Structure 1
Amino acid sequence: MAAQWRRLMIGGAAIAAVTIGLYSLVGPQSGSNRGADDATADPEPGLTLRDVTLEQPGDDGLLLWRVKGDEVTYSADQQVAFITRPDGDLFQDGEVIYKVVADSGEVRENGSVILLRGNIVATGVQNGSVLRGNEMEWRPQDDVLIVRDQITGTHPQLRAAADEARVFNRENRMELEGNVVASTVVADPETESWLKLQAKELTWFWKDERIESDEPLRVEQFKQNAITDVVVGQRGSLDLAEQLVALRGQVAMQMLELPLNMTSEALDWQVDEEQVAVNQPLTLVHPENKIRVTARRGQMNLAEQQIVLSEDVVAVGETNQTRLTSDRLNWNVETQTVVAEGQVNYRQADPAINLSGSRAVGRLDDETVVVDGGRVVTEIVPN
């Protein structure tokens, strides 16, 4: 539909209603005063209006958007409006959901698409988010706001940067794509721990306070702005309210303060409580003391440096070639003492010793293990 415009006289001020296959309202402007016979005349190609307000209603009559501009210039085919310094509101169900400003903008596709460019700031009126970037696209009929090029975002829950952000306001969902880095928000990062997430893509459900990723995800915990724990997996989620990190697929965790490394196929980490639950076969490695422990289940208390392992537990001291097997194992990482229970067997190479019993207490790093309980069998193998 070709652009049409008419001019009305209200209180002596000229106000033009301009349509590019859309409906818009234009504020006071300079120019000659045409008569009523010009009400249906098309604007001339390249027509420029100043101090303009454009707005677009939907089929139900409710506004989809309203944008003010210092100037609006129409394309030669009268299908595009170019806006200088746009400042406007984006609507949903008749309510403002985002306020936007930018250096320049365009209205296209009969008003169903708005493009903004340069120093964009989109402020969420309802969700409290602020998005910044250099390119924005608003498609109200699809309920999607797209921000691209050097994206940063802030929210009471989260701070993030990405190549692109897609906001679906009805679903309270934001999709971040490309080089995503997100950090949880705390009042004082110097005294409170916080998390940093990195992935190719993240989906954030701000109403549910949940973040998900079907791509490889890296989560780092910071205390006093220093990294203390790192965990990676092939996919994962973060419950912001519960501070629960759940990772699945080739999971690896580095506990830098202990120090200790863990690998498994699944991990649930209660960050605030400093508890890690692993309900899949796992491997723990203490790199300094060269101790390696495997089991089918594990529970780690990071604050107290206590680890409880169960089912087919095997602890190996690589330096002294020691091997301890049991049904259950309590491991104090700080003191390097272990308490093994169940069907316990302890072996070492030099001197060659084989001990079996129902309980064992000792250290694997210096070969001081005492096996007792029930019937104890001691086997000494000569060199």
Structure 2
Amino acid sequence: MMLFKNKISVIFLCFLLISCQGNKPSEKTENSNFKREIEQGLVLYNATLEQSNSDGQILWRLSTKKATYTQDKKSAILENLTGNLFDKGKIILQVSAKKGEIKNDGKEIYLSGEIIAFDTRNKAEFKGQELMWKPEEHFMIMAGDKGIKANHTKLIASAKEAKYNTKDQIVELSKNIIANTKNPPLQLKTEHLYWKIPENKIIGNNLLEMVRYEDKFVTDKLKTNQVEVDLNTNIAILNGNIEYQSLKPPLQGATTRIIWNYGDRTMESNQATRLFQPEDDVTLTANIVKFNLEENQVYLHEGIYGQAVKNEVEIYADNLVWNLDNKEINAEGNVYYKQINPDFNLKGIKAIGKLQDKSMKVEGNQENPVTTLIYPKEQ
């Protein structure tokens, strides 16, 4: 039997036939019910349906407990179904659902109720309540009031909607997105996200919050406008208005670009960066910043300016190392130190000490001795 303009072949696994033999009341009742269904459209039980393209290549195959066709044979309602999506003769996607509907001569498939879609190539699994599937256009859309869930060896994600390009294996997630990497644990929250499954990359271009965990405790928080996360290397490249916060040790930062290895908690930025240590009210800025929060060391280069606001202390230098454990700084190159009460300035080539304690030692050499400038208070 050929249906949908000779594009779909129907394989009967068990086409229910009602025998007309005999005059038993139960047989008459079943026969009359079957005739009423036939008047509404062709009804098949335990059937397998197939769809091929113009070149004869199979696009999909669906097995269903019950298929009810419209009288024009252009649409069908399916119940309790499982199926496969093919590409060049190979299964690429396996689906199951409580209900389904075939439309537009088999070019569109709609599924609903306890949907599971599994990609056999990359092992990504999607669960949801509503699905639209266009095999010839290589995409499906999943949605629903309860949202969708995606599970993969590298990532677990939930969202209100997901659009999946089955050819390129790219997922576009939208609305109320929560994505969690598995190892190491990193959580992303945003409203729009691309997930390139073959490359194991996540790309976000909306306001996005990132939280890093260690032993179920939060270690770092970031906000940004753009991010690309490589799930293979555990490296995130952030751009835009970036806000950073480390909980242990306490440290805050702001910049426009960061390369973050969230696996070992190292960061670097070649853009103007401001770091703030809230406990001692110490701020340091520089054009190049690298830090390793596993070792609690921050390395600053070019255009360095530091201050401890409460103690009215300032420092300038070419290079500086900030130890977040003992809160000591070690500055080198064109060091200029200034403090108030007592008021004086120091110039040298090195400085070591703590801004928050006004305990700075400035050093020089024979060629560049330390210069001290003391300013008397105005009368």
TM-score between both structures, scaled by the size of structure 2: 0.90
- The one-character-per-residue Cα deviations of 1:188-208 (angstroms, maximum 9, x if unpaired) are xxxxx3111122111111111
Q: Is the 8 A contact 1:45 1:78 kept in 2?
A: no
Change beyond 3 A, Cα 1:21–1:135: farther
Q: How far 1:31 moved relative to its partner? A: 2.7
346, 350, 361: which one pairs with 2:352? 361
- Quote the residue 1:189 is aligned against: none
- Quote the residue 1:40 is aligned against: none
Q: Is the 8 A contact 2:3 2:73 kept in 1?
A: no
SS of aligned partner of 2:356:
coil
Q: How far 1:32 moved relative to its partner? A: 5.2
Are 1:143 and 2:134 matched, yes or no? no
358, 364, 375: which one pairs with 2:369? 375
Are 1:31 and 2:17 matched, yes or no? yes
Q: How far 1:180 moved relative to its partner? A: 1.4
Are 1:252 and 2:243 matched, yes or no? yes
- Quote the residue 2:27 is aligned against: none
- The one-character-per-residue Cα deviations of 1:158-178 (angstroms, maximum 9, x if unpaired) are 111011112222213111111
5+ residue gaps, structure 2, are 21-37
- Quote the residue 1:165 is aligned against: 162
More helix by share: 2
Please, what is the CA RMSD of the aligned residues? 1.7
61, 64, 82: which one pairs with 1:66? 61
User: Size of the alignment, in residue pairs?
Assistant: 354
Q: Is the 8 A contact 2:316 2:334 kept in 1?
A: yes
Please list every run of at least 4 consecutive aligned residues from structure 1 whose deviation after the TM superposition is greater than 6 angstroms: none
SS of aligned partner of 1:103:
strand
Letter in 2 for 1:163: K
5+ residue gaps, structure 1, are 1-5, 7-16, 35-42, 187-192
TM-score between both structures, scaled by the size of structure 1: 0.89
Tell me which moved more, 170-179 or 254-263.
Answer: 170-179
Are 1:177 and 2:168 matched, yes or no? no
- Quote the residue 1:202 is aligned against: 193
Change beyond 3 A, Cα 1:144–1:44: same
How high is the sequence identity, in percent, across the aligned residues?
A: 30
* Distance in 2 between residues matched to 1:365 and 1:24, nearest whole Å: 81
- Quote the residue 1:120 is aligned against: 115
Letter in 2 for 1:48: V
99, 102, 109: which one pairs with 2:94? 99
* Distance in 2 between residues matched to 1:248 and 1:20, nearest whole Å: 52
Are 1:229 and 2:194 matched, yes or no? no
Letter in 1 for 2:207: P
Q: How far 1:78 moved relative to its partner? A: 3.7
68, 80, 83: which one pairs with 2:78? 83
Q: Is the 8 A contact 1:339 1:360 kept in 2?
A: yes
Tell me which moved more, 133-142 or 370-379.
Answer: 370-379
- The one-character-per-residue Cα deviations of 1:75-123 (angstroms, maximum 9, x if unpaired) are 3554320001111111111111111111100000110011000110111
